[in-house]
Structures are given as C-alpha cells and as structure tokens.
C-alpha cells in the first residue's frame, strides 16, 4: 500500500472516528431531549402503592414500621428489581437501589424520597419521589443508557417521624432518637430492626462530604403557590429553618362580672394583641417568611372568668436563620409593649424542634430550571416551607428539590391530590436533571 493510500485511509478512519465522536458525543443530548417518563406507569404505581395502608377516606395510613409500610416497601423493592436495580437495605433501614455507572470510581448520584405516611395521610407525599425516581431508572434502562456516575434510588426510613433515615445518613441520628416511640407504636430502634436494618450499627450508614455527587428529590408542593400561579415546576431554593417557642402570658384570673374593664389583667386580651403582632411582623417585611400561632390554651377557660393564663405556640420559618432571629426580636419587642399595656407578663421559651435553614445547590437548581425549560414547562424558584429528607442530605452533598403542584395546596390529608401530568412533569425534570449532573 502506498504511503498516500495509507494516509488517505488514516484520514478516512480519523474522519469516521471524528464523526462517530461528534455523533455519539452529542447523542446523549439528542437522546435525552427525546426521553420521556411513562406517565401512565407512574400513575398506576402510585395507585398500587396506595393499596398498602389504604383508608376508607381514600387516603393512606402507612406510618413507618407498620405492617402496611413493610408491605409497601416490599412492593417498592419489586419495582426496583424490575428497573434493574441492585437492592441494599442499610443499617438505618433505608432501601438503596444501586445502578452501576460507566465510571465506577465516581461518587453516586442519589435521588428518591420516602413511602411512610402520616396517620390518615395521602397517596402522593413521598410516594411520588420514590415512584418517580424508579421511573427515571427504568426509562434509562429501557433506552440502554448508562450514566458515567453510579445511580442510587433511596427510600428513606421514617421521614414523617423525624427524617430518621436521612439523619442516619448524615451521622446525626442520636441514641435518644432510637428510643422514641414511632407512629406505629414501635420504638424507632425496633422499627429499624423490623424493616431489616441494624440499630446497633447505625453509624455505618453515615456518608461524608464528597461521597455523594448530588441528591435530588421530587415532592408534591404541599402548598398552593404553584397551583394558584399556574406554574408547572417549583425549583426549591432551600428548605426553611423552623423555630418554635412556647409563649406564656400571665395575667390575673378574676370574676368577669365584678371586675371593671380598667382593673383587668386579661391574659387572653394580651394574647390577641400578640397574635396580631406576629402576623404584622411576619407580613411587614418583603420575603416569604411565615409566622404562625397554631395552638392556644386559656385558663381557667370559663365564659364568666377573666383569663389569667394563656399558653400559646409561636412558629417562625424562613430560608435565613438571621431573618428568623430578626423577626423574633421584633415580636419580643412588641410583646414587651403589649405586656405593659395589658398589665400582664409575657415570656418565651424556645422549644427544641428547631430546623436550621438548608439551602439547596445553585448549580443543581440551574440544571432543574434548564430541564424544565427544555421540556416546555414553566418554573419558579421557591422555598420549601415543609421539612424533607433533602434538608439533611443538603448538609453533606449538593442537593436539589423539584416541586409539582398539589391541588388545593392540601397535604397530609386523604384529600391530597396531584394530577398525573404534573407527576410525569416532575419525573421528566428529574430525569433531565440527573443526566445534566452526570455530564
């Protein structure tokens, strides 16, 4: 063969290779542009899962560690196997469905949610995040797509009982938390054993920074912002911090008939002023912070007795811990003035139910926004006002959350409903986001 012929062949082969590289290199893009989850399959599986713990009201009671929860977990494991995932139950009872990547040394991309419910809850909270995650893997499987990173579909243990599984994964599930009695009646420790975990080796579950490429969770919004604004996708900027206080208002209980208006120390009147002050403070600055008084007890509590003592709750939520603190300081200042005006004493006791704000990863949020756009969906940035496993994982790995509309903003209720097309939208966005992270 002449040198020129060899050169031509080399050039030809090189050109072919170049074309192959150009074609197949971009193929992942063109493939992913056409990829779509199966909306019917998602809907059908949501309904099948809802059979476990089904209630007469049309919802589900599938509290963690209950018989219904265990049956539901078995159902999910069967779906994972169908999608080609390798099943592992970790020491915290989290179900991990693993899929190999082309580059086994890369850290895995995690996605998922939970399938335990609150007592008398709905079909979608948590369930969508799990069914949607399995759907993504199944679509990749059906299309013969192997990602660079390993993938892990996670079903976290006992989310509704205090984010148990995800707390274990960040190494913050305390020995005390294991002794708490869960909704099922079982201690968390015994529940974890019942689902195949090992409460005595919980620390093995812990993952460290850098060990997870990313975590993404789809979830129903549980509010009515998306529905009201007619938006398809909520890109969660972060999970809000939550602070709780018990507010004690001490007045003086007295005969309502014999105590003139100007001689009263009416604790309920003071409480009323404070409830309005909380609302005024929470709405008085720009932002999406919320302030709530949801519980109130008034003593002695008779129509003909001036209330002498009121105990009520105060809850503040925002993405910024600093803002929560500023709001709290304003409320305290208002309380001082109210106490003086009403001749009562007002004191605040923090309740240990605090969650620190958990910002999501801006790069992942950008991927979610691009994915939505490519899918022709509208999206907005929004906080998650509710707690999620994502808030824990956000502390060790770049995390993103995808919200889809809740009809009527209702959740934790048998009336919880999300339309099949919205569930599919969420899963498609998740699929695109995984592929974007993977590249």
Which one of residues 262, 286, 352, 376 is an interface residue with a copy of itself (CB under 8 A)?
A: 262
Q: Which is nearer to a copy of itself, 14 or 301 (CB)?
A: 301
What angle do the packed helices 362-374 and 420-438 form, to 10 degrees? 120
* # residues near a copy of itself by CB under 8 A: 61
Which one of residues 31, 38, 292, 326 is an interface residue with a copy of itself (CB under 8 A)?
A: 292
Q: Which is nearer to a copy of itself, 49 or 268 (CB)?
A: 268
Confirm or reject binding of residue 283 to a copy of itself (CB under 8 A).
Answer: yes
C-alpha 185/C-alpha 191 separation (Å) is 9
Opening angle at CA 381, ends 377 and 386, nearest 5: 110
Q: With left for phi above 0 and alpha for psi between -120 and 50, is residue 388 left, alpha or beta?
A: beta
> Shortest distance, CB of residue 373 to a copy of itself, whole angstroms?
25
Which one of residues 167, 273, 309, 436 is an interface residue with a copy of itself (CB under 8 A)?
A: 273
> Shortest distance, CB of residue 222 to a copy of itself, whole angstroms?
4
> Shortest distance, CB of residue 273 to a copy of itself, whole angstroms?
7
Residue pair 237/359 in contact by the 8 Å Cβ criterion? yes
Which one of residues 260, 286, 352, 376 is an interface residue with a copy of itself (CB under 8 A)?
A: 260
Q: What is the pattern of x (binds a copy of itself, CB under 8 A) and - over residues 223-242? A: xxx--x-----------x-x
Q: Which is nearer to a copy of itself, 235 or 242 (CB)?
A: 242
> Shortest distance, CB of residue 235 to a copy of itself, whole angstroms?
15
> Shortest distance, CB of residue 239 to a copy of itself, whole angstroms?
9
Which one of residues 175, 210, 303, 376 is an interface residue with a copy of itself (CB under 8 A)?
A: 303
> Shortest distance, CB of residue 293 to a copy of itself, whole angstroms?
6
Confirm or reject binding of residue 55 to a copy of itself (CB under 8 A).
Answer: no
Confirm or reject binding of residue 221 to a copy of itself (CB under 8 A).
Answer: yes
Confirm or reject binding of residue 266 to a copy of itself (CB under 8 A).
Answer: yes
Which one of residues 290, 311, 321, 407 is an interface residue with a copy of itself (CB under 8 A)?
A: 290
Q: Which stretch binds a copy of itself (CB under 8 A): 65-73, 170-178, 251-259, 366-374?
A: 251-259
Residues 6+ apart with CB under 8 A from 360: 236, 237, 238, 239, 390, 394, 399, 400, 401
C-alpha 277/C-alpha 262 separation (Å) is 22
Residues 102-161 that bind a copy of itself (CB under 8 A): none
Confirm or reject binding of residue 276 to a copy of itself (CB under 8 A).
Answer: yes
Which one of residues 77, 106, 272, 321 is an interface residue with a copy of itself (CB under 8 A)?
A: 272
C-alpha 19/C-alpha 374 separation (Å) is 26
Which one of residues 93, 197, 387, 400 is an interface residue with a copy of itself (CB under 8 A)?
A: 387
Residue pair 121/61 in contact by the 8 Å Cβ criterion? yes
Which one of residues 259, 325, 326, 373 is an interface residue with a copy of itself (CB under 8 A)?
A: 259
Which one of residues 31, 120, 193, 254 is an interface residue with a copy of itself (CB under 8 A)?
A: 254
Q: What is the pattern of x (binds a copy of itself, CB under 8 A) and - over residues 313-352? A: xxx-x---------------------------------x-
- Residue 72 tokens read as 């539901």
Confirm or reject binding of residue 180 to a copy of itself (CB under 8 A).
Answer: no
Residues near a copy of itself (CB under 8 A) are: 221-225, 228, 240, 242, 244, 254-263, 266, 268-269, 271-273, 275-276, 279, 282-283, 288, 290-296, 298, 300-307, 313-315, 317, 351, 353, 384-387, 409-412
């Amino acid at each position: 063969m002449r040198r020129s012929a060899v050169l031509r062949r080399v050039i030809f082969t090189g050109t072919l290779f170049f074309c192959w590289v150009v074609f197949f290199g971009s193929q992942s893009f063109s493939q992913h542009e056409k990829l779509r989850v199966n909306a019917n399959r998602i809907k059908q599986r949501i309904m099948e899962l809802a059979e476990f713990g089904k209630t007469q009201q049309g919802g589900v009671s599938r509290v963690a560690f209950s018989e219904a929860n265990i049956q539901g977990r078995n159902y999910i494991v069967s779906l994972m196997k169908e999608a080609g995932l390798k099943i592992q139950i970790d020491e915290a009872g989290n179900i991990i469905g693993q899929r190999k990547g082309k580059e086994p040394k890369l850290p895995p991309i995690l996605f998922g949610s939970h399938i335990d419910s609150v007592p008398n809850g709905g079909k979608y909270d948590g369930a969508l995040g799990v069914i949607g995650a399995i759907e993504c893997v199944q679509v990749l499987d059906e299309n013969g797509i192997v990602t660079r990173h390993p993938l892990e579909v996670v079903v976290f243990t006992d989310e509704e009982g205090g984010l148990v599984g995800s707390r274990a994964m960040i190494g913050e599930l305390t020995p005390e938390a294991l002794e708490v009695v869960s909704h099922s009646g079982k201690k968390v420790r015994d529940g974890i054993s019942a689902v195949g975990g090992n409460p005595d080796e919980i620390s093995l579950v812990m993952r460290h920074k850098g060990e997870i490429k990313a975590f993404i969770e789809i979830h129903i919004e549980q509010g009515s912002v998306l529905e009201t604004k007619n938006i398809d996708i909520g890109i969660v900027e972060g999970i809000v911090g939550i602070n709780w206080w018990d507010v004690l208002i001490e007045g003086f209980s007295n005969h309502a008939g014999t105590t003139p208006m100007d001689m009263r120390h009416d604790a309920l009147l003071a409480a009323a002023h404070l409830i309005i002050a909380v609302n005024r403070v929470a709405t008085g600055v720009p932002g999406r912070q919320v302030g709530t008084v949801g519980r109130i007890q008034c003593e002695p509590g008779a129509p003909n007795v001036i209330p002498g003592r009121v105990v009520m709750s105060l809850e503040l939520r925002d993405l910024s811990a600093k803002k929560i603190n500023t709001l709290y300081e304003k409320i305290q200042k208002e309380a001082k003035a109210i106490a003086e005006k009403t001749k009562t004493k007002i004191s605040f006791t923090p309740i240990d139910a605090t969650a620190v704000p958990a910002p999501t990863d801006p790069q992942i949020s950008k991927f979610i926004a691009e994915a939505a756009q490519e899918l022709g969906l509208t999206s907005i940035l929004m906080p998650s006002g509710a707690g999620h496993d994502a808030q824990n994982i956000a502390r060790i790995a770049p995390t993103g959350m995808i919200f889809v509309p809740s009809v009527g903003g209702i959740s934790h209720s048998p009336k919880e409903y999300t339309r099949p097309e919205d569930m599919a939208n969420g899963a498609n966005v998740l699929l695109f986001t995984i592929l974007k992270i993977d590249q």
